[in-house]
């Protein structure tokens, strides 16, 4: 008897084969026509479905919207009780139904036709009422559900979702959506922050000392600003080096307490340190700090002329949620 692990793997492979089957069965002209209808639509795309297909329809609508195609989900049951008002002439409707005979969808077809919308069916039965009344039919048929009873929508919904995702990604690429465009639709959460949050947003005002400041002045500056480091800048405001807590400890270990008098910041600092510019993504700055043989915890922030603007700490990047 198969173990639970083996059953899970077998079912995953069953669904994977179903997606491969769908890829082989999709009609090229139908796919091209579906992409053309949605990409040329000057209104919006409406995705409809009932039950499990309705859940998949909601996800497809959300994916389309987040990747540059204006889309909404409308439940057919709501549509026949007034929700049809949001579907207007010029819209493209994507209808999901495994059987192609879903009562609620068939009920609103006359109203959709009256509005002159273009109908795309993602359907498991290409010889169905929905298929016959659609401008484009995308074959999402499956041989077997993953359900042991071959009843619960599982493999069929996976295939429908995969087709919807593939359409959305193709549209995204055809529209030339950039990472910046994508970020504009995802301003919150880790994903949005990785694409929008910059070093200049997180840096602290530059804690500065001059190269001729004494070791004690450096210690006092590090304590005052409590950032774990200070920038060493010249009279022109340009960065010369940085003194970190680590530099300070190494200086004391090397010289001994009795030989500290007379030591200057320029003798303690790390010259030409790794830096960031204010427009660098904070996530890129994080990688710059960590992806190296010896990690660093602070980055001086400088402009294109080398003028020191601030200090960015690893702690602040991590605390931001990246």
Q: At what angle do helices 189-196 and 282-290 cross, to 10 degrees?
A: 90
Residue 154 DSSP symbol: S
- The pTM score is 0.69
The token pair at 14 is: 């069953």
Query: What's the fold here for domain 199-319?
Result: CBS-domain (3.10.580)
CA atoms within 13 A on the CB side of 285: 35
Q: Spell out the residues 6+ positions from residue 11 whose beta carbon is closer than 8 angstroms to its own.
A: 146, 154
Structural contact between residues 58 and 47, judged by C-beta atoms closer than 8 angstroms: yes
Structural contact between residues 267 and 292, judged by C-beta atoms closer than 8 angstroms: no
Query: What's the fold here for domain 4-177?
Result: Rossmann fold (3.40.50)
Q: Can you give the residue ranges of every domain in the chain?
A: 4-177, 199-319
pLDDT at 186: 64
Q: Tokens 């294109």 label which residue?
A: 304
* Cα 306 from chain centre: 33
Q: Where are the alpha helices (DSSP H) in the chain?
A: 4-25, 28-39, 52-66, 76-79, 103-115, 129-132, 155-174, 179-184, 189-196, 199-202, 215-225, 245-255, 265-268, 282-290, 314-319
In degrees to the nearest 10, what's the CA dihedral of 190, 63, 125, 46?
150
Residues facing residue 73 across a β-bridge:
47
For residues 303-310, give the mean pLDDT. Answer: 93
Residues 181-216: pLDDT tens digits?
A: 776 666 666 666 777 789 999 999 999 999 999 989
Residues 56-99: pLDDT tens digits?
A: 999 999 999 988 899 999 999 999 888 899 999 999 999 999 99
Residues 121-154: pLDDT tens digits?
A: 999 999 999 999 999 999 999 999 998 888 889 9
């Amino acid at each position: 008897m198969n173990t639970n692990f083996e059953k899970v793997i077998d079912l995953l492979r069953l669904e994977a084969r179903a997606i491969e089957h769908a890829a082989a069965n999709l009609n090229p002209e139908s796919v091209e026509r579906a992409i053309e209808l949605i990409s040329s639509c000057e209104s919006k795309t409406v995705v409809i479905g009932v039950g499990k297909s309705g859940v998949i329809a909601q996800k497809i609508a959300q994916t389309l919207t987040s990747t540059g195609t204006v889309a909404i989900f409308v439940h057919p049951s709501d549509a026949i009780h007034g929700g049809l008002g949001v579907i207007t002439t010029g819209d493209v409707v994507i209808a999901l139904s495994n059987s192609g005979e879903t009562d609620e969808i068939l009920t609103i077809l006359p109203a959709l036709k009256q509005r002159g919308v273009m109908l795309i069916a993602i359907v498991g039965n290409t010889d169905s009422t929905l298929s016959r009344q659609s401008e484009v039919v995308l074959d999402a048929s499956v041989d077997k559900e993953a359900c042991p009873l071959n009843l619960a929508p599982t493999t069929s919904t996976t295939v429908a979702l995969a087709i919807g995702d593939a359409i959305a990604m193709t549209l995204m690429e055809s529209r030339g959506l950039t990472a910046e465009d994508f970020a504009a639709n995802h301003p919150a959460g880790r994903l949005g922050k990785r694409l929008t949050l910059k070093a200049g947003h997180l840096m602290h005002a530059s804690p500065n000392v001059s190269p001729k400041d004494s070791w004690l002045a450096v210690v006092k500056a590090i304590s005052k600003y409590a950032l774990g480091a200070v920038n060493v800048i010249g009279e022109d405001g340009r960065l010369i080096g940085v003194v970190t807590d680590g530099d300070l400890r190494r200086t004391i270990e090397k010289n001994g307490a009795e030989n500290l008098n007379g030591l200057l910041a320029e003798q303690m600092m790390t010259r030409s340190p790794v830096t960031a510019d204010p427009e660098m993504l904070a996530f890129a700055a994080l990688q710059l700090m960590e992806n190296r043989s010896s990690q660093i915890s602070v980055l001086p922030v400088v402009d294109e002329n080398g003028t020191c603007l601030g200090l960015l700490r690893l702690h602040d990047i991590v605390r931001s949620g990246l």
